[in-house]
Amino acid sequence: MSKKRKYNEDYVAFGFTFITGSDGSERLQCFLREALFEKAGTLPKYGFVTTQKPFLEASYKVTYNIAIQKKAHMIGETLIKLCSLVMTGLVCGIEQRKKLECVPLSNDSIRSRITDISANILEQVMKEIKALPFPFSMQLDESTDVSHCAQLLVYVRYMHIDAIKEEFLFCEPQRPQTYYKV
């Protein structure tokens, strides 16, 4: 005999609700992943909100600039957002400042966005390379990171729409070589 658990309203705090099966049984349903509950207003009702498109786009654009400038990820939240909020509050008013507070710029958000941007760029370059009717060239280089670990850098050069493009393809850490004395 299997023990059946009944749904408890406290489960909502953990992002779960229940659905009733065709046999009348209650099954847990994670509403954080279901668009149906988002459309029905269940997520906002319990304090879970999705990032709106302008805020998400702003987050990606700030992330891109942080990456281009090679700054620490935490600068997004500790300096950029702080300064933006101060300037917006002074110039545009408190209501606009409150809107700007919704732009996600935490260290983890920046790291995640940089990963997304990098994957997207790599995907675009790979599509262009695969569509080439002629060869391309690769250049390998070695560098070291801040902890003096060797890194293999790979660049690719190819023709794309009447222009030569040179793109960074990837960077891989190299394992230290073990040398044996003979």
Tokens of 91: 């110039």
| Percent of the chain topping pLDDT 70 | 68
The residue ranking higher by pLDDT, 14 or 162, is 162
Residue of 181, 151, 157, 159 whose CA lies nearest to 169: 157
**Mean pLDDT across the stretch 15-22?**
62
Q: Does the pTM of the predicted model rise above 0.75?
A: no
pLDDT tens track for 78-90: 999 999 999 999 9
* Beta pairing class for 26-30 and 163-173: unpaired
Give the type of residue at 134: F
CB 74 within 8 A of CB 62: no
Sign, CA dihedral 47-15-41-24, equals negative
Residue 63 has pLDDT above 90, yes or no: yes
